[in-house]
Structure 1
């Protein structure tokens, strides 16, 4: 049984390493602008992520927003999203830019 939510990395909060935040409750959001070109075989994007994980006891949205982690970046995707590369940077306690390459397809 999973008892904690873990944030960080490609699937949850780009620009941060895995497990940068964890807790029994979490919030996260993602905004992405995508522009396709080359007959939709490739696309570029700009994005922003936000995430919070912590204790569910005494949770308030205001407190979560004060402790939230934010990131921004840009990405390139080819083959209709099959292969993706993102360049992302966390904005809270930044450790530099992270390059993440991954497959993003359902099999």
Structure 2
């Protein structure tokens, strides 16, 4: 399962309880900016393997993420702020995951 998880736009306390639960339950977190995501994970004491997924490596990493999903792993995709896919790399990954018939869940958050 791939989770598209919205993160706070400004204040880290604006994250939803559902997003925190999902981030705590997944096997891996793919982040547009691991530095920003680490701040969020540290604040909420979430310890999960984290890897970069951004515009310049999305083609390479999409294949790696897809393989992990095919193995039954649960992965959360986050951007540095907001919902992945609005102005962040996510389209390619979601397209590949849907084509592989792997479930995708959207975990919404606070909006601007």
TM-score after normalising by structure 2: 0.24
Structure with the bigger RCO (C-alpha within 8 Å, sep 6+) is 2
The TM-score, its normalising length taken from structure 1, stands at 0.25
Structure showing greater radius of gyration is: 1
Q: Between Structure 1 and Structure 2, which shows a larger proportion of helix residues?
A: 2
